[in-house]
Amino acid sequence: MSTSGSESDSVAAKRSMKPKYSKFTQQELPAWKPLYTPGIVIGAFSLIGIIFIPIGLVSIAASQEVVELVDKYDGECVTANDKVGFIQDTKTDKACTRTITVPKPMKGPIQVYYQLENFYQNHRRYVKSRSDNQLRSKEFSSVIKTCDPEAISEGGAPIVPCGLIAWSLFNDTFTFSVNKKTVQVNKKNIAWSSDRTIKFGSDVFPENFQKGGLIGGGQLNEKLPLSEQEDLIVWMRTAALPTFRKLYGRIETDIMASDEITVVIQNNYNTYSFGGTKALVLSTTSWIGGKNNFIGFAYVAIGTISLLIALAFVGLNMVKPRTLGDPSYLSWNKENPDYVQ
């Protein structure tokens, strides 16, 4: 009986799912378990406040130095009551002249952005409607499986570049003059270097693009490879939020205070059918980038809250001090014979 019992026990042990005992699997390895004394807690919160508040103030100061001009032109640049009909009429002259007075000196290079609102580039169907393989190499020009509904032309030939993102390319144009002197916009290197060299091939040229019955946005130069068409590359990097800015180009010259910037806008892009808005943005930059007060205020807020918590703990420790317990009674110290009190 004893032999059969031992055999059944060994079989049960083999079938058991219990892991083999080790200090690693049972989380019994030596570990640092600090005691959070009032001094350590107060010091930590004070240190956070002392570091964060100056960083926030410096960030706010840098953001305040940025000069940013925003001109919403979508409403003023349409002369008809039927805005959708106006923007879809190919025979209508859509040129619009806007004048902007510069309040502060703007040191070049001045970033030129276009800003769209209520445009959901992050929609799942929109984001998926592209072929990265097709954009990368000529040998994949017929890989259009993920590009519906803009995959093939009316004649059945593949569209290059295919997909809704490329089809809806922004096509408003801006011409600038300062005090009646024409200013050139530099459109080189506005896209990420990795996008130009890796994601968009130098042997891929547009084919059958915007030749269907419904035109979505801008045209592409069929004589230039996609790697050199930076307006497309910038547009194809989809935005995460419905309000976004994309780089149009750079003005390399300085613009002084009280100068008048005249902008001739070709108002081609249809945002009226879905209730979107368009704006032109001119902005200088600082070491922190463009105008962004949120980062600075966030640092100041977190630092201030940390200092207030530190002061609260100081007051609490002074009003109701609490004697710390003897660490020798902690379970991990009681089990450690080498612990010295």
Residue 61 shares a structural domain with residue 71: no
Residue type, 119: F
In a domain, 326, yes or no: no
Asked whether residue 223 falls in the same domain as residue 266, the answer is yes
Residue 331 predicted with pLDDT over 80? no
How many beta carbons lie within 10 A of that of residue 109, not counting itself?
15
Peptide bond before residue 161 is cis, with ω within 30 degrees of 0: yes
pLDDT digits (tens, 9 = 90+) for 115-133: 999 999 999 999 999 999 9
Between the CA of residue 198 and those of 125, 136, 165, 226, what are the distances in Å?
24, 7, 19, 11
Q: Answer yes or no: do 188 and 200 share one domain.
A: yes
Is 57 part of a structural domain of the chain?
Answer: yes
Number of domains, the chain = 2
Would you say residue 11 has pLDDT above 90?
no
* Residues 14-68: tens digit of each pLDDT: 666 777 788 888 888 888 877 788 889 999 999 999 999 999 999 999 999 999 9
The SS3 call for residue 48 is helix
State how far the Cα of 72 lies from the Cα of 70, in Å rounded to an integer. 7
| pLDDT tens readout for residues 207-256 | 999 887 778 888 999 999 999 999 999 999 999 999 999 999 999 999 99
pLDDT band at 10 (very low <50, low <70, confident <90, very high): low
Instruction: State whether 138 and 46 are in the same domain.
Output: no
Q: Look at residue 6 and tell me whether its pLDDT is greater than 70.
A: no
Q: Residue 4: which pLDDT band, with cuts at 50, 70 and 90?
A: low
CA distances from 280 to 41, 121, 334 (A): 49, 19, 70
The answer to whether 241 and 196 are in contact (CB under 8 A) is: no
Do 223 and 261 reside in the same domain of the chain? Answer: yes
Residue 214 and residue 191 share a domain: yes
pLDDT at 329: 67
Same domain, 101 and 48: no
Q: Output the pTM of the full model.
A: 0.79
Residues 57 and 119 in one domain: no
130 with 278, same domain? yes
Q: Which domain holds residue 98?
A: 67-285
Please tell me the distance from the alpha carbon of residue 320 to that of residue 314, in angstroms, as a whole number: 10
Q: How far apart are CA 86 and CA 88, in angstroms?
A: 6
Together in a domain, 71 and 209 = yes
Do residues 159 and 187 both lie within one domain? yes
